[in-house]
């Protein structure tokens, strides 16, 4: 009887997963229609809805199991058999790694068990995915040495499967040929295996589509991406060609929203991408294509491996300590761990649930390359001996309600994990004039792009922004974040008497949502070098009318363009002396 019940339960869990991935693929596959019809509001709605699909399907499966099988308490005998029966079903899938994670989520939701120490679930993957790419091709090969670049480019654009026509295919062809000639050495020897490998399905995000591929020449694999936009009046057009690891990594950044990319075999897509961006792990790449729950599970596995092969201590993260979060890091591991404090000192007026809501808001929102993504975890076990005394004192003082000691492990009941960055205030402290100019330019651009996405950071202090490995400035402190359209931007009224300007008390009323951009200069730009550069590059951010104009754009339904590549990479005028038969 137990074996029969175990088999039925395993099948029910698998049915829940298959329903999840079927619906996930349906909303993802419609990305092409949304892109080609320029239905940008629908693009944003679909991106938000897809993130919540996983938890909904897990909840539905849990409800079914409780209703049909009356599961209340875990039985060692039963669940060991369920796991065996489930494992037998996985080889029939093209997403077995995702199905294992779904099983884990269902079990933990059923019994509130914690995955860090549980023999009933798949802590480590048991089904290989390496054979799947051979069975279901995910990329197409093209041979420029045989067919010529002109024909190859024409075929690549045709094979992408767009239904909406290109507004000027000849112009796009010229732009791509010129970019190839400029960015690839003309004297490079062509090896026998020279080819372009293109992933079959385009990647969609926001208002753009990307064709991702690699040039294979001998042992070299050079990544590239063709960015395609929609001129809503005249058709599609190629906006740029991006090449090299850094430029491709930028569009797959942890500070951007998840791609819509339809695939039957996600493991094969990730295996294709990994050599192109070797500094990104599987967890980040799965997350980039919208499979953040598996990315989260894969990240935890990477973390366990790193703990096993390292011995440094967890320490308090560098920078000014925040009023809402305790932040710590492991120096040898490029991430930070953020724990909500038990109490917030004045002037903070919020609850733990409010902070969680802010982080969820960021998760569901378009991050436009300017807000760090985070993985949210519950009940994570850390080796207690690896915590520095200063860190342990900080945690025990600031957030004891989030801690539990179990033998030699410190259990943190709830935390967020993000990519580690250099706090902007620390970066500016040691920066030279050129670095200051670049960083302040990036800082202002981050504020502008967040505003374009209807995000107001709330707290503009430099300590709340970080500098990435590629010198981009990204916002990462979300407790004061809100929608730009919820703010009331005002100019400071003229004082009725000159003496009042010297008073510590303001002479005008201030509402709860009132923002006075003129004050940014007083509180932020105390360093004359930084003030000079900011006023030169971003003085309009101190004007309330600039902010009100952004609000008007948002209310009018206008979705601004925010490109994940520099403006000088965009195709504009193309010389007529780039013949189509030469590259």
- State the catalytic residue, choosing from 239, 262, 366, 373: 373
231 flagged as catalytic:
no
3-state secondary structure 237-291: EEEEEEEHHHHHHHHCCCCCCCCECCCCCHHHHHHHHHHHCCCCCHHHHHHHCCC
Would strands 455-456 and 422-423 be described as parallel, antiparallel, or unpaired?
unpaired
**Residue 132 bridge partners (DSSP):** none
State how far the alpha carbon of 2 is from the alpha carbons of 87, 118, 400, in Å.
Answer: 16, 21, 43
Q: Quickly list DSSP for 82-130.
A: HHHHHHHHGGG-S-HHHHHHHHHHHHHHHH---GGG-TTS-SS--S--T
d(CA 226, CA 238) in angstroms, rounded, equals 7
- Pick from 49, 14, 6, 17: nearest CA to 30: 49
17/168 Cα distance (integer angstroms): 43
Q: Is-cis flag, bond preceding 347, omega within 30? A: yes
Q: Which of 369, 307, 364, 372 is nearest to 338 (CA)?
A: 372
**How far apart are alpha carbons 326 and 275 in whole angstroms?**
35
What are the backbone angles phi and psi of residue 458, rounded to the nearest 5°? Answer: 85, -55
Q: Is 367 helix (H, G, I), strand (E, B) or coil?
A: coil
Note the Cα 574 to chain centre separation in Å: 34
For the chain, the distance separating the N- and C-terminal CA atoms, rounded to the nearest angstrom, is: 70
488-489 and 482-483 as β-strands: parallel, antiparallel, unpaired? unpaired
**Within 13 Å and on the Cβ side, how many CA atoms surround 46?**
27
CA 415 to chain centroid: 17
**b/e for 198-207, b at 16 or more Cβ within 10 A?**
bbbbbbbbbb
Q: How far apart are CA 394 and CA 301, in angstroms?
A: 27
Burial classification of residue 466, based on how many CB atoms lie within 10 Å of its CB (0-12 exposed, 13-18 middle, 19 or more buried): buried
Q: Write out the catalytic residue numbers.
A: 373
């Amino acid at each position: 009887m137990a074996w029969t019940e175990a088999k039925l339960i395993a099948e029910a869990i698998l049915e829940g997963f298959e329903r999840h991935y079927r619906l996930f693929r349906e909303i993802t596959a419609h990305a092409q229609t949304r892109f080609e019809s320029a239905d940008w509001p629908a693009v944003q709605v679909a991106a938000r809805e897809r993130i919540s699909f996983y938890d909904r399907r897990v909840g539905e499966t849990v409800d079914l199991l409780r209703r049909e099988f009356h599961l209340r308490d875990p039985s060692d005998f039963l669940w060991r058999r369920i796991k065996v029966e489930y494992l037998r079903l996985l080889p029939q899938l093209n997403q077995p790694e995702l199905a294992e994670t779904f099983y884990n989520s269902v079990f933990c939701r059923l019994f509130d068990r914690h995955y860090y120490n549980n023999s009933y679930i798949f802590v480590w993957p048991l089904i290989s995915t390496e054979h799947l790419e051979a069975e279901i091709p995910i990329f197409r090969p093209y041979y420029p040495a045989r067919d010529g670049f002109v024909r190859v480019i024409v075929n690549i654009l045709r094979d992408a499967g767009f239904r909406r026509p290109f507004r000027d295919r000849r112009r796009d062809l010229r732009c791509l040929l010129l970019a190839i000639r400029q960015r690839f050495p003309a004297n490079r020897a062509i090896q026998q295996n020279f080819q372009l490998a293109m992933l079959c399905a385009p990647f969609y995000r926001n208002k753009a589509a990307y064709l991702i591929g690699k040039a294979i020449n001998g042992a070299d694999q050079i990544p590239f991406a063709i960015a395609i936009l929609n001129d809503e009046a005249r058709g599609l057009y190629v906006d740029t060609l991006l090449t090299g690891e850094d430029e491709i990594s930028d569009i797959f950044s942890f500070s951007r929203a998840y791609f819509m990319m339809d695939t039957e075999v996600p493991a094969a897509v990730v295996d294709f991408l990994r050599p192109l961006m070797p500094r990104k792990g599987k967890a980040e790449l799965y997350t980039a294509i919208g499979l953040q729950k598996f990315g989260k599970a894969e990240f935890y596995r990477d973390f366990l491996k790193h703990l096993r092969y390292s011995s440094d201590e967890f320490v308090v993260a560098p920078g000014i300590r925040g009023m809402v979060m305790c932040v710590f890091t492991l120096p040898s591991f490029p991430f930070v761990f953020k724990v909500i404090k038990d109490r917030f000192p004045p002037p903070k007026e919020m609850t733990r649930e409010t902070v969680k809501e802010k982080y969820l808001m960021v998760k569901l929102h378009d991050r436009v390359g300017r807000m760090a993504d985070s993985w949210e975890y519950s009940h994570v076990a850390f080796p207690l001996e690896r915590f520095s005394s200063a860190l342990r004192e900080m945690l025990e003082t600031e957030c004891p309600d989030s801690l539990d000691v179990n033998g030699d492990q410190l259990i943190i009941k709830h935390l967020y994990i993000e990519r580690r960055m250099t706090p902007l205030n620390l970066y500016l402290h040691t920066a030279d004039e050129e670095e200051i100019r670049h960083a302040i330019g990036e800082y202002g651009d981050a504020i502008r792009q967040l505003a374009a996405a209807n995000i107001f950071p709330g707290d503009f202090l430099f300590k709340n922004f970080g500098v990435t490995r590629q010198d981009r400035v990204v916002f990462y402190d979300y407790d004061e974040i809100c929608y730009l359209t919820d703010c009331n931007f005002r100019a400071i009224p003229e004082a009725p008497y000159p003496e009042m300007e010297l008073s510590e008390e303001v002479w005008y009323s201030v509402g709860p949502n009132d923002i006075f951009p003129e004050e940014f200069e007083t509180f932020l730009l105390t360093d004359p070098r930084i003030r000079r550069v900011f006023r030169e590059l971003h003085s309009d951010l101190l004007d309330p009318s600039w902010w009100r104009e952004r609000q008007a754009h948002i209310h009018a339904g206008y979705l601004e363009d925010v490109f994940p590549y520099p403006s000088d990479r965009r195709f504009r005028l193309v010389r007529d002396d780039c013949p189509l038969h030469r590259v």
